[in-house]
Structure 1
């Protein structure tokens, strides 16, 4: 109120400048504002979003990744990149994983009419799962699959899975990532993404080791 009254007096005299004391007040206010906003500007972090169940056609299809990138940029996200058509997104955001998941789900529903879960992970989470992969490193990386869960599975349900036999396929469990080796065919194994969701009652999305490595390579390239 003091600043407004003072401005009014000096405008009445034909001057557009503030008195020295009030200039100091204004400078102090601007410095405080900058010190408050600066951390907010630097809080944006690299996030990896893995969409669940993106289809080439039908209700949950996303025809062009370029349009998706533009949609996300228009929504205020920064450094938006995508990798192949299966719904792998990298961007920078200050939102929490939960808030970002909801925001992207809602954007896809509004723009495409699709009901697609968006699982959000930090690059170091995915790198940690790769580093902890229990399978031998000489296996074909296109036959090694990582099923990542949105929620932490119930321990008892995990235990039931651990005690089952899966034929030629092999399963290893961790808290939020399930490792599957399907040496012949993933789709015909009993450890597909849909099957694991039914067993665990959680939302999953699955990528093979090749895909995860290439996504992380995009993070490293843009770092």
Structure 2
């Protein structure tokens, strides 16, 4: 059965938009997903689902979250193959020695080449950001809060949902997605 990583954007931060992970597991199970597991309190879940697509999983989960919590919560869904490819393509393996400071900014969609060229997100942090397939890698050696805010720029200029996860979480998601 195919598995998907379901990444909720902007929950449980600063006491806002609280979604307890036990409730998230119940909600996802109630939607018919199998083998539902969560990681940390920041909106990381892995679900099993047959005969569906990431887009359908996204729509189903976003609709249920809005119904349950009364607020729109954006979701990015990625497959095991996508997570594996993101890990394999890691462009900063030679310098990124702290998984909590290496970020993967997951994108809900692939922007057009014209949009990427017009609004060059990598130019915000040219030595430490790289564009991948539905992801932007950003190495933040001085910490995420001191790094240029590539995620907000991309969300605003590219018109996609962006949700960041540190490398420790990315590799944990890969483990959870494994058979």
TM-score, structure 1 as length reference: 0.72
Aligned equivalents of 2:39, 2:103: Cα separation in 1:
17
What runs of 5+ residues in structure 1 fail to find an aligned partner?
1-43
Q: Any runs of at least 4 consecutive aligned residues in structure 1 with deviations exceeding 4 A, and if so which?
A: none
Count of aligned positions: 175
Match of 1:113 in 2: 70
Structure number having the greater helix percentage: 1
Aligned to 1:184: 142
TM-score, structure 2 normalization: 0.88
Distance (whole Å) between structure 1 residues aligned to residue 28 and residue 128 of structure 2: 37
Contact 1:133 1:179 in 2 (8 A): yes
1:100 aligned partner: 57
Do the aligned residues in 1 keep the contact of 2:37 with 2:47 (CA within 8 Å)? yes
CA RMSD in angstroms comes to 1.9
Query: Which one has the largest radius of gyration?
Result: 1
CA distance in 1, matches of 2:100, 2:153: 19
Alpha-carbon distance change, 189 to 138 in structure 1, aligned in 2, over 3 angstroms:
closer
Task: Identify unmatched segments of 5+ residues in structure 2.
Answer: none
Q: Distance in 1 between matches of 2:144 and 2:115?
A: 22
Counterpart of 2:103 in structure 1 is: 145
Match of 2:166 in 1: 208
Query: In structure 2, which of residues 85, 91, 103 is the aligned counterpart of residue 134 of structure 1?
Result: 91
Call closer, same or farther: CA 1:166–1:192 in 2, change over 3 Å.
closer
By how many angstroms is 1:187 displaced? 2.2
Higher relative contact order, structure no. (Cα contacts within 8 Å, ≥ 6 residues apart): 2
